[in-house]
């Protein structure tokens, strides 16, 4: 026999307390514990509902009925943690809640000579934080410049002044790949960074305030030019080698193309000769989640709450690209952190808790604006000749502005004109058909396929300065951020320039499942290859 919905509704009043009104507390400036209580109360109240008006068999309207939801409100400890951190940061002293970004003691090179940047910006003065290991020989011919990844500091190895292990600790030292018995190893924090070198969090000498997003757009080549100012100050006229991984692998190539007569050898690990769409897309999403954090305040968050929530999410996205799926299958599988508890929307699977931990650990260790500027510089990287011609032309046009600044004349920030402005198109992007592609490519030149054995002529021309420079190019098959075909492209392009001293090594998945982070972890294969090449 069917029981009608109205009969059930009629029976309910006798089975429960009188209807309760729904009340949601106004949000104020509470303590973290108060915030969590209010959040829980709001969730519980929202899970109550008012039943629809029902009619009995006679057609008479029944009173509105309410009853408790059969489902309890979920808890959100991940959001509680973000709210708690914001409350804690807001209680810091008026001197500014932003963290002190540092990895310990380092040396400083300070330049009063202004630096003209590729896209027209000028740094009136700048500082480069650096550390060194080993001894410079009498001829000053044994120096190795070690380039960092995106967020690394100059602290690649421990020193007496800073005994904390560095990010390449096992790769540097006596008898190690970068053998300090043989070489004088120098590592810098790039300009644009936040570990001692001039960047967005630095003081603008023009007004005594932090640059924030008044900091000019940077390129990999700008960073390398600042590094070579340091080398000039140290009296190093020629490097024994330029070595780098990830972003550093891009910079090591840039150093060779800009200063071909001053670089003896090049090591480029898990890098590329030009940024490709996938890596640009991944860095774009990181920047977007950071910039959309309300605390970012268009870059002017210094003295307030930093956008730690956006930074945490940006780091989680980045971490996805740093390792490999097969490695995570082995480490985490589909296991949950606590299978005895019901599923949750906050981190629940082991892989989720791993990413959450990576974001939590990093969100206050690096300046958010530095992440924006340095990652954008990676996107702009292109050693093709056409791009270089455009940048060289732009630099020539801006030489007058630099000379005017040196002469003490006032350089109006507005002289950059449209270079500092961007207008999004009214019409969204649409896929173009083949005929439109042909119009965009009037000379009907073939578009290079991914992993093509023939690199584009433009890139061959751009890498021509490296035709006589011995080069080690190393890639990792499990790397999804800088796929191994990009290192093959570098090696093939260098050979097309006429370079007969190119060593290309690709670590298959049977040797490394660590993805992009292999360069940080694989002392045997990565370190061994570097040691053999340099020796």
**Residues involved in catalysis:** 246, 479, 516
DSSP-derived 3-state class of residue 410? coil
β-partners of residue 148 are none
Tokens encoding 26: 């106004």
Angle, helices 77-90/308-322, rounded to nearest 10 degrees? 130
Q: Which residues of 336-375 are buried (b: 16+ CB within 10 A; e: fewer)?
A: bbeeeeeebeebbbbbbbbbbebbbebbbbbbbbbbbbbb
Angle, helices 308-322/368-379, rounded to nearest 10 degrees? 40
Residue closest to 145 by CA, chosen among 36, 266, 35, 279 = 266
Tokens encoding 330: 């082995």
Residue closest to 383 by CA, chosen among 283, 271, 284 = 271
Distances 135 to 166, 180, 182, 185, 273 between C-alpha atoms, Å: 19, 7, 8, 8, 32
Distance CA 164, CA 157 (A): 8
Rg (CA), the chain: 29
Distance CA 526, CA 269 (A): 8
Cα of first residue to Cα of last residue in the chain, in angstroms, is 89
Q: Which residues contact 176 (CB under 8 A, 6 or more apart)?
A: 170, 527, 531
CA 206 to chain centre: 29
CA 117 to chain centre: 21
Length of the chain equals 535
Distances 59 to 53, 56, 417 between C-alpha atoms, Å: 11, 5, 74
């Amino acid at each position: 026999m069917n029981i009608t919905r109205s009969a059930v509704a009629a029976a309910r009043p006798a089975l429960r307390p009188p209807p309760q009104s729904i009340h949601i507390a106004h949000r104020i400036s509470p303590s973290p514990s108060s915030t969590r209580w209010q959040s829980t109360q709001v969730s519980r109240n929202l899970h109550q509902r008012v039943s629809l008006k029902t009619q009995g068999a006679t057609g008479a309207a029944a009173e509105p009925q309410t009853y408790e939801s059969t489902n309890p409100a979920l808890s959100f400890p991940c959001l509680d943690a973000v709210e708690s951190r914001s409350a804690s940061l807001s209680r810091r002293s008026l001197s500014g809640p932003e963290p002190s970004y540092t990895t310990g003691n380092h040396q400083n090179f300070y330049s009063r000579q202004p630096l003209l940047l590729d896209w027209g910006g000028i740094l009136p003065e700048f500082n480069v934080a650096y550390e060194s290991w080993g001894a410079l020989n009498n001829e000053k011919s044994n120096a190795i410049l070690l380039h960092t990844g995106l967020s690394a500091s100059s602290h690649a190895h421990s020193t007496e002044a800073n005994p904390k292990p560095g990010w390449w600790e096992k790769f540097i030292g006596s008898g190690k790949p970068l053998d300090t018995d043989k070489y004088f190893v120098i590592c810098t924090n790039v300009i644009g960074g936040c570990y001692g070198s001039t960047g967005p969090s630095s003081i603008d000498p023009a007004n005594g305030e932090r640059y924030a997003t008044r900091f000019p757009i940077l390129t990999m080549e700008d960073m390398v030019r600042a590094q070579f100012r340091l080398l000039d100050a140290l009296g190093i006229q020629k490097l024994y080698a330029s070595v780098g991984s990830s972003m550093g692998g891009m910079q090591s190539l840039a150093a060779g193309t800009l200063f071909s007569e001053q670089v003896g050898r090049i090591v480029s690990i898990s890098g590329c000769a030009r940024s490709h769409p996938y890596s640009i897309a991944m860095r774009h999403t990181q920047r977007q989640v950071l910039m959309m954090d309300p605390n970012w305040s268009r870059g002017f968050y210094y003295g307030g709450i930093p956008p730690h929530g956006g930074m945490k999410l940006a780091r989680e996205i980045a971490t996805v690209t740093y390792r490999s799926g097969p490695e995570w299958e082995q480490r985490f599988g589909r296991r949950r952190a606590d299978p005895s508890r019901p599923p949750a929307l906050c981190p629940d699977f082991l892989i989720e808790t791993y990413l959450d931990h990576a974001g939590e650990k990093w969100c206050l260790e690096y300046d958010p604006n530095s992440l924006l500027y340095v990652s954008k510089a990676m996107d702009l990287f292109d050693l093709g000749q056409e791009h270089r011609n455009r940048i060289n032309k732009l630099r020539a046009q801006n030489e007058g502005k630099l000379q005017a600044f040196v002469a003490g004349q006032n350089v109006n920030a507005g002289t950059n004109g449209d270079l500092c402005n961007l207008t999004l198109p009214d019409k969204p992007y649409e896929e173009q058909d083949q005929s439109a592609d042909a119009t965009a490519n009037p000379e009907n030149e073939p578009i290079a396929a991914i992993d093509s054995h023939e690199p584009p002529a433009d890139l061959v021309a751009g890498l021509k300065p490296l035709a006589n420079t011995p080069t080690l190019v190393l890639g990792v098959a499990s790397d999804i951020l800088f796929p191994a075909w990009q290192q093959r492209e570098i090696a093939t392009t260098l050979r097309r320039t006429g370079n007969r001293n190119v060593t290309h090594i690709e670590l298959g998945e049977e040797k490394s499942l660590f993805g992009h982070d292999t360069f940080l972890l694989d002392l045997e294969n990565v370190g061994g290859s570097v040691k053999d090449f340099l020796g």
